[in-house]
Amino acid sequence: MSEGSDSGAVAAGVPTPRSSIYFDGLTNRRHAVALRFGAKLDITEDGVDIASWPYDDLRMVDGGPGTLRIKSVSALPLARLEVFDPAAQTQITGHARFLRIERGGPAHTGRIVAWSLAAIASIFLVVVYGMPLAADRLTPLIPLSFDRHLGAIADNQVRVIFGGRTCTNAQGRAAFSKLVETVRQASRLDVPLQTEVLNSPVPNAFALPGGKIYLLNGLLQKAQNADELAGVVAHEMGHVSHRDHTRMMIQRGGVSFLIGLLWGDITGSAAVIFVTRTLFEVSYSREAEQNADAFAIAAMHALGRSPAPMGELLFRITGAEKSHTIGILASHPLTEDRRELMRHEDRPATGLEILSDDEWQALKTICRPANAR
């Protein structure tokens, strides 16, 4: 057995010492071999030719420190020649033209980068254009009962947050119902609505999917007349009518699904994900807000009332925003722009007052207990 020795005697007529090890691809037996560089690379063990590899078939593989390890594409897949002698290594690199053809170079890396960038561009396009389009097309296909499911989930959360502080003054409720019903009929919204006033100092109002609209007492107290309030309620009805929540959920779900699956395991991309999602959600919700405003303006016109008071109410709540908000990052259109738009749509009143003075006073005090009046 010629197992192992690296420094065997030089076989007759062989120019290189036995400084190479050959594995035949059948067993892991170590053949101490000598190399002869003729028309092909001849591998001889104890003077006997055991393999002959054409130079053009030689390929370099990983071989460890100071070792040139090669395979031959025409030999058995695992046949290997390990060359330790630097002179023999130089000989081989000189003869074999395609030695490094399977080792990636800069062009190879460039291709990976190019394809990756193409993939990123494609994903970006899907997120920015594909998802909104898909959401717009899918939303009408989803039954309204799904909106009500979503609304029920959100409603549970609202109840937890506000602790069921519903304002129950009977006269106030009657006035509120009248206002809501008037606006609903004017805007021809045929979704059954559930509306409540919640006793919270936050000046806000919001709609839940499926037709639930909450008005917070803070906003009610800032309102100076029924027209202002009617505009806000109409705006929320716009969200319900456009099914913005469902649309938003499809989009958000789609985007986080796509990005999360592809890059979910990469913390470094968290920033990228955050930025893309924020920018895209913001631009989306701005569009939704503008549409809801348009809905509110149309409803007020149908009532024969001016939408301008709504703009004044909004401005009263937020104040000027332009100075401290970067326009592109704001999730709502800037209040001064909205007020400007609504002033622009101002028409002389042709319709009846929405609420009488008594009804308006009752609505303002809806959150006081009945006996306190």
| Interface residues toward another protein, by CB under 8 A | 3-4, 6, 21, 23-30, 61-67, 69, 78-80, 82, 84, 86, 109, 112-113, 115-117, 119-120, 149-150, 152-153, 156, 253, 257, 261, 263, 265-269, 272
103 vs 303: CA distance, rounded Å: 75
Residue 67 beta carbon to another protein: minimum distance, rounded to whole angstroms? 7
Please report how close the Cβ of residue 20 comes to another protein at its closest, in angstroms: 12
CB of 119 to another protein, least distance (A): 7
Which uninterrupted H or E stretch holds 37? strand 31-37
| Residue number, 119 or 170, with CB nearest to another protein | 119
CA distance 278 to 263: 17
| Least CB distance to another protein at residue 131 (A) | 15
Nearer to another protein, 23 or 284 (CB): 23
Which class for 144: exposed (0-12), middle (13-18), buried (19 or more C-beta within 10 A)?
middle
Give the CA distances from residue 109 to residues 112, 114, 118, 262, 269, in Å, rounded to whole numbers and listed in that order. 5, 9, 14, 21, 21
Choice between 94 and 110, CB closer to another protein: 110
Residue 94 burial (10 A CB sphere; 0-12, 13-18, 19+): exposed
Measured from the CB atom, the residue of 117 and 349 that comes closer to another protein is 117
Q: How far is the CB of 160 from another protein (least distance, A)?
A: 12
How far is the C-alpha of 87 from the C-alpha of 200, rounded, in Å? 87
Closest to another protein by CB, 28 or 323: 28
SS3 at position 80: strand
Q: Residue 340 CB, nearest distance to another protein (Å)?
A: 40
Query: Closest separation between CB of residue 148 and another protein, Å?
Result: 10
Do 360 and 225 meet the contact criterion of CB atoms below 8 Å apart? Answer: yes
Q: How far is the CB of 123 from another protein (least distance, A)?
A: 9
Q: Which of 123, 125, 149, 129 lies closest to 249 in space, CA to CA?
A: 149
Of 10 and 153, CB closest to another protein: 153
Region of 163 (left: φ > 0; alpha: ψ -120 to 50; beta: rest) is left
Sequence-separated (6 or more) residues with CB below 8 Å from residue 168 = none
Q: Are 197 and 217 in contact (CB under 8 A)?
A: yes
For residues 69 and 14, the answer to whether their CB atoms sit within 8 Å is: no
Q: How far is the CB of 176 from another protein (least distance, A)?
A: 28
Collapsing DSSP to helix, strand or coil, 32 comes out as strand
